[in-house]
Amino acid sequence: MTTTQPAPPPSMRLRELAFGAACAAALRAAARLGVADALGDQPMAVEDIAAAVKSEPGPLRRLLRALSCYGVFAERPDGTFAHTDVSRLLREDDPHSLRAISLWCTEPWTWDVWPKLDEAVRTGRNVVEDLYGKEFFPYLNENAPESADVFNRAMTTSSVQSAQDVAAFLDLTGCASVADIGGGQGHVVASLLDKYPDLRGTLLDLPRVVENAVPRLRTGGDLADRAQVVPGDVRTAVPVKADVYVIKNILEWDDESTIRTLRNVREAGGPGTRVVVIENLVDDSPSMRFSTAMDLLLLLNVGGAKHTRQSMVDRLTEAGLVIDDISPVNPYLHAFDCHIPG
């Protein structure tokens, strides 16, 4: 049974940090086994959980004990285990589920790249191209389709959870059309079309992504007559004309790819067109440990970075956009409201 313990001395704290991979691996194992889904509202014996997830009781107890040290599951005095507010987020059916994101952050490629962080820090370059012989997203889609599916599910989870906030924040009164650039499966577009019944919307993303666009946007869906789904790589071209372009959480590549994407949008939109860029900011985050970890992972896989407010301003300005306003969408997201100059 875990009990409240005093803070460990520095020497033990450093040992714990050095073993941080054990916590990540334990989270991944629990997510892949479906432990959180098997554990109901009442505490359960390890033997019963093990039978439900088809594992050995002894090793499962060790896994649950390790996770309970971090507040993921709770061990009770009688040896049973119960959910915590954290472990419930590993359930598939939780409305705020982070199961897909937990898997995405621990996919096999991540265990290949983390040991090379010193190399990435020395060079400022991603390490994926040297490891796999191609850029990260081509590698993912061509060589690691299971990881690509996990990525898409994780991005869908994030989009579903934030789409309503984005739609509530954006005022598109008087606009006839909106395009979500690199918009995943289209949750933001769908939310905006719900809010504005006369609006037309376009979703642009890679072919493999838009194949799985939300059914409401596709033929037969209730929004299909006002929606267009376009396959394409936003870093190559933006073949979409709209009054407003929304670019949410995709400008975290290397600077060259980011600038190229913004210039593609500028070319497609033309003078006076509104461009709204929505990003997490590493210098204005309620969770710096998570934000800085993602920042380092972006360095490793695409040579990119989580933006600070100033770095986002610099990229937008370099791409030729004029920033009109910067506002928080919610505690995690900020909107840079811009226009294309004449």
pLDDT band at 84 (very low <50, low <70, confident <90, very high): very high
The two tokens of residue 148 are 């690509």
Residue pair 120/171 in contact by the 8 Å Cβ criterion: no
Per the model's pLDDT, the better-predicted residue between 137 and 39 turns out to be 39
3-state secondary structure of 319: coil
With a cut of 80, say whether residue 340 has pLDDT above it: yes
Name the β-bridge partners of 44.
81
Q: What is the mean pLDDT of the chain?
A: 95
Q: How many CA atoms lie within 13 A of 172 on its CB side?
A: 30
**Could you give the angle at the alpha carbon of 106 between the alpha carbons of 105 and 109, nearest 5°?**
100
Q: Tens digits of per-residue pLDDT, 17-66?
A: 999 999 999 999 999 999 999 999 999 999 999 999 999 999 999 999 99
- Which residues, including other chains, have CB under 8 Å from residue 263's CB and lie 6 or more apart? 319, 320
Distance CA 70, CA 287 (A): 16
H or E segment and range at residue 274: strand 274-279
**Percent of the chain scored above 70 by pLDDT?**
99
pLDDT band for 264, please (50, 70, 90 cuts).
Answer: very high
Q: Among 245, 210, 233, which Cα is nearest to 336's?
A: 245
- 96: Cβ contacts below 8 Å, ≥ 6 apart: 89, 161
Decide if 332 contacts 280 (C-beta within 8 A): yes
The gap from C-alpha 42 to its chain's centroid, in whole angstroms, comes to: 31
At 158 the pLDDT is 84
pLDDT of residue 3: 52
pTM of the entire predicted model: 0.87
Residue whose entry in the numeric block shows the structure tokens 């954290």: 86
Buried b (16+ CB within 10 A) or exposed e, 271-310: eebbbbbbbbbbeebeeeeebeebbebbbbbbbbbbbeee
Give residue-wise pLDDT tens across range 104-129.
999 999 999 999 999 999 999 999 99
191: its two tokens: 């939310």
What is the C-alpha R_g of the chain?
22
d(CA 201, CA 188): 10
pLDDT band at 160 (very low <50, low <70, confident <90, very high): confident
**Per-residue model confidence (pLDDT) at position 4:** 59
Angle between helices 20-33 and 10-18 (to 10 degrees): 50
For 94, 147, 240, the CA distances from 304, given in Å and listed in that order, are 31, 19, 26
Give the model's confidence band at 208: pLDDT under 50 very low, under 70 low, under 90 confident, else very high.
Answer: confident
